[in-house]
Chains A and B, each alone.
Chain A
Amino acid sequence: MSALISQTCLSEVLITSPNGMLGLPFLTRKKGFTAKVYATKAASRIGQLMMEDLVYMHKEFRQFYGPESDEPIWMKWDRLEMLPLELKKTVFGADGTDFGCWMPLYSAADVKACMLKVKSLNYAEEICYNGIVIAKPLPSGLEIGSCNWRINGPRGNIAYISNFSSLNALEQVGNDEDRSGLANYLSNSSSADVNSETRSALLSTDEYLEEIDKLDFICSCSMDSIKAGGSILIPTGRLGIILQLLERFELHLTSENMKVPIFVISSVAEELMTFTSIIPEWLGQQCQDRLYSEKPSLFTHTEMLKDGRLYLFPAIHSVELLKIWQEPCIVFCPHWSLRLGPVTHLLRRWRGDQNSLLVIEEGVDANLVLLPFKPIAMKVLQCSFLSGMQLKKSLLLMKILQPKHVLFPEIFRRCVDTLKVSLSSSFYQENETLHIPHTEDSSRLHIDMDLARQIKYTKFEEQNVDISRLKGKLTVEHGRYKAVR
């Protein structure tokens, strides 16, 4: 990260999702950081709350285990340098980037200062850098506020695609217009000749239905556990998943006619839920339709909060929480690592109960995260949630966009190679800079009519060329070079 700032002059940072900005304070607190940071309004608000929550949990952790001095001893550079070569290799990793660049967590003040540097945007709101580069976030459909970026410059256009979900109950999704928006600018070839089969494949609802199936499976497992007298613990920070699960739980509980309290315990639970009840512009069609209905409310959780089916608490030791606490219950709380936050206490309480259920996300090493809690009698359900685009889908998208060049992550190399896709592509990996040639030969200039009228051509017979002197003022405005009188 330090290399990023010192070597190149970083001028803009574009954020695609709330999760994608959790490391931002590390960057913004560096001396000499002057870049502008852009994120969607929803992403920056949710991201800010997630960071504040992280800082809060860290503070709590230190209250338990005592504060480290400024930096833990093992983070001290001079000590590390003194280690024997072999040990050093282990610590720093083969390429010197492993533990060597661990940093102490940012503070609340860092988060605050960081947020002052973030300029937040609506979907499809354009920003103009230096008059000539225009960037615009388009909904990607993965999470509330998540986006893909379209960047237009005079010498080529770039689309940064983090995800492309075309159907989602919750989130504002990338729609046809956005796609053509991406397509028009990414390539010059017309996308009209792409057959409708490809289009419908991209728009297929399979992915979404699969996701709903998964959520329903979690719900029905939970119902079984609750019937047996156990409680449900869901440590996740992903707001989208919490909201979707709340909706599904409400359905399941109502249909089974069960009354089980649901708790969301986090220092920012209240803020998150208040925020989600006032953002129709950022939600999917299904939620938006609820706004236009007789009883306007975006999520079921507003109702659930009102009639005491859902409770929000800032911490596990809240007096109010202890008063109304009852088991079995369903608890959403951070943190997915099972090392921080309310989850640690609840896990200790329930680990011996074979009827209780723990839901964790795929992608974490279950053995490792559960190690301190062993032996564990609790049921554990590991579940993968949609967190990006599948390769199959991204290739379909490329077929429609027809870009001149594609960058895939290194892990896709084998798949892309074996699929024999006719795409000019390269593969990126961490700490590596790639150079991509210009896609346009030259920039375009708009000559104002007033100026153009003055043009008088002189003919060069020999070369068969007409030329004229052009004298005026050159302006750079909103991505265009303009010559005016």
Chain B
Amino acid sequence: MAIECLVLGAGQEVGKSCVVVTINGKRIMFDCGMHMRYTDLRQYPDFSLISDSGDFTSSLSCVIITHFHLDHIGALPYFTQVLGYDGPIYMTYPTKALAPLALEDYRKQTERRGEKEQFTAEHIADCMKKVTAVDLKQTIHVDKDLQIQAYYAGHVLGAAMFYAKVGDAALVYTGDYNMVPDRLLGAAQIDRLQLDLVISESTYATTYRDSKYVQEREFLKAVHKCVASGGKVLIPTNALGRAQELCMLLDDYWERTNLKVPIYFSSGSTIQANLYHRILINWTSQKVKDTHARHNAFDFKNVKSFDRSLINAPGPCVLFASPGMLGGGFSLEVLKQWAPYEENLVMLPGSCSTGTVGSKLMSAKIPTQIKLDENVKIDVRCQIYKLAFSAHTDAKGIMDLVKFLSPKHVLLVHGEKPKMAALKEKIQSELGIECCYPANNETVTIPSTHHIEAGVSDAFLQSCLAPNFKFWKTNVGSDERTPPLLQVYDDRVSQGILTLQNPRVISQNELRDVLGLENHLVKFDHCCSAAYDSEISNAASDWLPSTSQRNSLLQLLFGIVSRDFPDCIMHDCQKGIQVGSFVASMCSREECPSGNADALHFRCTWSATDEELAWKVISLVKNVKLSSASLDSFRVLMDF
């Protein structure tokens, strides 16, 4: 049995995230994303690899979406409405609320560009109706065997990592995540789980980033400087996520510094998204949550809605306009008007896909001219600021998460090939965990955990769970003044008997009953002659020690043995001494099993478990040198 991972997207690249995992006969699709670089069918994962017949509903157990970014959900309406997948789809509540906005925003952009649309507004609405919303940590039984669970990922509002388990085989698909909290969102959070596989994003596979607070401060400083000198700030962003995060920063800063410069949102969907954020405030960072009762952080106090006539109104302002990469639409329209003035400022998002105006600006030296098409050129004299914010974890975060989860395997997606190779090396060498980063449309097979099940007796459990402490004293260093270090070991080794028929594990003691056998005890028997000096042996070959002599002999033996074995006990009526199961008594000639004719023998018996101990004691017994003097002195003492 194994876990099979078919990487349909985001293999050695960023875009159209989609991994299909087969685990103990269940097939799960994680994310169903779209590649933003293409406009034809290449923008979608190659779904035909899942099923030749095109019957996706029966070949997949469920689809899981981690967050609302288009490279994770963009292909979903196409997959469900055009290709006809009709099975269960899971995402968190915020993702279900915000995804339609993101999808609709994208659809409108393609419509504006005059490209052929792959899905309609109706498709989006119908697709979202099929979605089951889930809460964090809620255990969801997709069917009898498959269980999934969402964990907080901190990448955008509602982003989640997903845990999936079938039988004993389990994996985590991280989606995009962030390991440090920021102003808007908390850090990713997950339980310590028993995992065969972790599928992790690796956007920043080799980068180590500074704290976000520094970047936030620089951003605010740049905006403040611009508006203070009367300039206009254009912030091209998509409607969701980034807009709310930056606006929260600005609104808070405006409050603190008592700025009165207006902040505008151009798009209706941004304002709509704000409403969602307000209701979904429980999914933000702890600080935002804690203060919401007093003031909901998404009730922006300084934000006003924008009107086209305000583009050329005098005076400073801050404007959020979509789309984020200036690929057309309102943000480009405003750029045309504002770019020629050097007091103005344009905030570019962290990354822009090649070919967009955004990417041209990114690499341009100011002042410059940018060609929009054959006839239109913009003079750019304004300032350009590149936002360095990122809601992805850096290399340290990835390593931390992998180390924390300690899976048997790691699979990297959503990154650049050379960097992924470096991270793979690091994971294998530093953490000793197998790692791979397959390309798109490749399948990787990973062994998974299995078990056999058996009944278990209470006696066995009791014997295993009862602590078995052992104490050792070890001397630290040679200095005798430092007290020895006491070490405690809980040395529990579970040992029992497994029966094949009607599999059941029992403790050793119960076996006899199960087999219906009598108890047989293996006992060792050894006659050990006590060394005595010639005086006694000369006395008589048939010398027989009197009872009192026997007693004193045993007494003597006890004295010697108990010096080394403190748990040695003297038996009642002085028949012998005992350490564990080891018993030593005087051997009587008549009963001696070894037929010893000599006078003084100790008869030693012990059971198999105390073998080692027994021979240690015997070596002591052998060293006992009995002299008549010692015997006499004892006798005297005893008689007295």
Binding site for B on A (CB under 8 A): 121-126, 136, 177, 180-181, 184, 271, 274, 277-281, 288, 291-292, 294-298, 441-449, 452, 455, 457, 460, 463-474, 476-477, 481-483
> B182: shortest Cβ distance to chain A, in Å?
20
Q: B432-460 CB contact bits vs A (8 Å, 1 = yes)?
A: 00000000000000000111111111100
* B368 contact set on A, CB distance < 8 A: none
B453 touches A445 (CB 8 A): yes
Beyond A278-B282, A465-B501, A473-B494: 9 further Cβ-contacts under 8 Å? A177-B141, A180-B141, A444-B453, A446-B453, A449-B449, A449-B450, A463-B515, A464-B501, A468-B497
Instruction: A124 to B514: give the CA distance in the assembly, Å.
Output: 42
- Contact stretch, chosen from B48-56, B131-139, B632-640: B131-139
Whether A292 contacts B455 in the complex (CB less than 8 A), given A122-B137, A468-B500, comes out as: no
B499 touches A467 (CB 8 A): yes
B293 touches A442 (CB 8 A): no
Residue ID in chain A nearest B274 by CB atoms: A296
Number of A-B residue pairs, CB cutoff 8 Å, is 154
Q: Can you spell out 20 A-B residue pairs with CB atoms less than 8 angstroms apart? A: A122-B135, A125-B136, A278-B278, A278-B279, A278-B280, A281-B93, A288-B133, A291-B279, A292-B100, A295-B275, A445-B454, A445-B505, A449-B452, A464-B501, A465-B500, A466-B501, A467-B498, A468-B500, A474-B461, A477-B194
User: Which of B128, B498, B501 is most buried by chain A, counting CB atoms within 10 A of its CB?
Assistant: B498
Q: B574-612 CB contact bits vs A (8 Å, 1 = yes)?
A: 000000000000000000000000000000000000000
Instruction: A292 to B100: give the CA distance in the assembly, Å.
Output: 9
Contact of A448 among B281, B449, B457 (CB under 8 A): B449
Instruction: A469 to B281: give the CA distance in the assembly, Å.
Output: 57
Contact of A278 among B137, B281, B504 (CB under 8 A): B281
A465 touches B279 (CB 8 A): no
| Interface: B421 (CB within 8 A) | no
Contact of A122 among B97, B136, B280, B514 (CB under 8 A): B136
| Interface: B304 (CB within 8 A) | no
| Interface: B516 (CB within 8 A) | yes
Instruction: A136 to B149: give the CA distance in the assembly, Å.
Output: 13
Contact of A449 among B97, B451, B495, B511 (CB under 8 A): B451
A457 touches B500 (CB 8 A): yes
B139 touches A442 (CB 8 A): no
Contact of B500 among A288, A295, A467, A471 (CB under 8 A): A467
* A442 contact set on B, CB distance < 8 A: 455-458, 504
Contact of A469 among B96, B449, B464, B497 (CB under 8 A): B497
| Interface: B492 (CB within 8 A) | yes
| Interface: B46 (CB within 8 A) | no
Sorted nearest first, the 10 A-B pairs with minimum C-beta distance are A466-B500, A445-B456, A474-B464, A446-B451, A124-B138, A125-B137, A474-B494, A470-B498, A449-B450, A281-B135
> A120: shortest Cβ distance to chain B, in Å?
11
| Interface: B121 (CB within 8 A) | no
B138 touches A122 (CB 8 A): yes
Contact of B452 among A277, A447, A469 (CB under 8 A): A447
Whether A443 contacts B139 in the complex (CB less than 8 A), given A448-B451, A452-B451, A468-B497, comes out as: no
Contact of A296 among B139, B275, B497 (CB under 8 A): B275
Contact of A125 among B139, B194, B279 (CB under 8 A): B139
| Interface: B571 (CB within 8 A) | no
A465 touches B515 (CB 8 A): yes
Instruction: A373 to B495: give the CA distance in the assembly, Å.
Output: 75
* B135 contact set on A, CB distance < 8 A: 122-125, 281
Instruction: A446 to B293: give the CA distance in the assembly, Å.
Output: 48
* B93 contact set on A, CB distance < 8 A: 280-281, 288, 291
| Interface: B524 (CB within 8 A) | no
* A278 contact set on B, CB distance < 8 A: 278-282, 292
| Interface: B255 (CB within 8 A) | no
Instruction: A177 to B100: give the CA distance in the assembly, Å.
Output: 26
Instruction: A443 to B465: give the CA distance in the assembly, Å.
Output: 14
Instruction: A279 to B278: give the CA distance in the assembly, Å.
Output: 11
* B504 contact set on A, CB distance < 8 A: 442
Q: B487-513 CB contact bits vs A (8 Å, 1 = yes)?
A: 000001111111111001100000100
Q: How many residues of B contact A (CB 8 A)?
A: 55
B293 touches A274 (CB 8 A): yes
Instruction: A453 to B311: give the CA distance in the assembly, Å.
Output: 75
B168 touches A446 (CB 8 A): yes
Whether A483 contacts B450 in the complex (CB less than 8 A), given A122-B136, A271-B293, comes out as: no
Instruction: A331 to B311: give the CA distance in the assembly, Å.
Output: 49
Residue ID in chain B nearest A457 by CB atoms: B500
* A124 contact set on B, CB distance < 8 A: 135, 138-140
| Interface: B276 (CB within 8 A) | yes
> A241: shortest Cβ distance to chain B, in Å?
23
B505 touches A126 (CB 8 A): no
Instruction: A463 to B516: give the CA distance in the assembly, Å.
Output: 8
* B492 contact set on A, CB distance < 8 A: 473-474
Residue ID in chain B nearest A445 by CB atoms: B456
> B272: shortest Cβ distance to chain A, in Å?
8
User: Which of A126, A136, A281 is most buried by chain B, counting CB atoms within 10 A of its CB?
Assistant: A281
> B73: shortest Cβ distance to chain A, in Å?
15
Instruction: A127 to B351: give the CA distance in the assembly, Å.
Output: 42
* A288 contact set on B, CB distance < 8 A: 93, 133
Whether A444 contacts B136 in the complex (CB less than 8 A), given A463-B516, A474-B492, A483-B494, comes out as: no
Instruction: A177 to B272: give the CA distance in the assembly, Å.
Output: 33
Instruction: A298 to B93: give the CA distance in the assembly, Å.
Output: 13
Q: B70-106 CB contact bits vs A (8 Å, 1 = yes)?
A: 0000000000000000000000010011001000000
Instruction: A442 to B456: give the CA distance in the assembly, Å.
Output: 6
> B466: shortest Cβ distance to chain A, in Å?
11
Whether A483 contacts B497 in the complex (CB less than 8 A), given A442-B455, A449-B452, A452-B451, comes out as: no
Instruction: A184 to B194: give the CA distance in the assembly, Å.
Output: 24
B505 touches A483 (CB 8 A): yes
> A129: shortest Cβ distance to chain B, in Å?
15
Instruction: A481 to B279: give the CA distance in the assembly, Å.
Output: 43
B511 touches A467 (CB 8 A): yes
Q: B598-631 CB contact bits vs A (8 Å, 1 = yes)?
A: 0000000000000000000000000000000000
User: Which of B138, B453, B515 is most buried by chain A, counting CB atoms within 10 A of its CB?
Assistant: B138
* B141 contact set on A, CB distance < 8 A: 177, 180-181
User: Which of A126, A184, A271, A278 is most buried by chain B, counting CB atoms within 10 A of its CB?
Assistant: A278
* A181 contact set on B, CB distance < 8 A: 141
* B515 contact set on A, CB distance < 8 A: 460, 463, 465, 467
A468 touches B140 (CB 8 A): no
> A266: shortest Cβ distance to chain B, in Å?
15
> B192: shortest Cβ distance to chain A, in Å?
10
B279 touches A296 (CB 8 A): yes
Residue ID in chain B nearest A293 by CB atoms: B97
Q: B28-66 CB contact bits vs A (8 Å, 1 = yes)?
A: 000000000000000000000000000000000000000
* A271 contact set on B, CB distance < 8 A: 293
Instruction: A21 to B285: give the CA distance in the assembly, Å.
Output: 28
* A472 contact set on B, CB distance < 8 A: 493-494
Instruction: A446 to B450: give the CA distance in the assembly, Å.
Output: 9
> A192: shortest Cβ distance to chain B, in Å?
11
Whether A274 contacts B511 in the complex (CB less than 8 A), given A181-B141, A445-B456, comes out as: no
> B139: shortest Cβ distance to chain A, in Å?
5
* B451 contact set on A, CB distance < 8 A: 446-449, 452, 482
Instruction: A280 to B283: give the CA distance in the assembly, Å.
Output: 11
A481 touches B461 (CB 8 A): yes
B494 touches A296 (CB 8 A): no
> B130: shortest Cβ distance to chain A, in Å?
13
Residue ID in chain B nearest A127 by CB atoms: B137
> A16: shortest Cβ distance to chain B, in Å?
18
Instruction: A295 to B505: give the CA distance in the assembly, Å.
Output: 61
> B518: shortest Cβ distance to chain A, in Å?
13
Instruction: A29 to B630: give the CA distance in the assembly, Å.
Output: 71
* A121 contact set on B, CB distance < 8 A: 137
Q: B18-29 CB contact bits vs A (8 Å, 1 = yes)?
A: 000000000000
Residue ID in chain A nearest B508 by CB atoms: A469
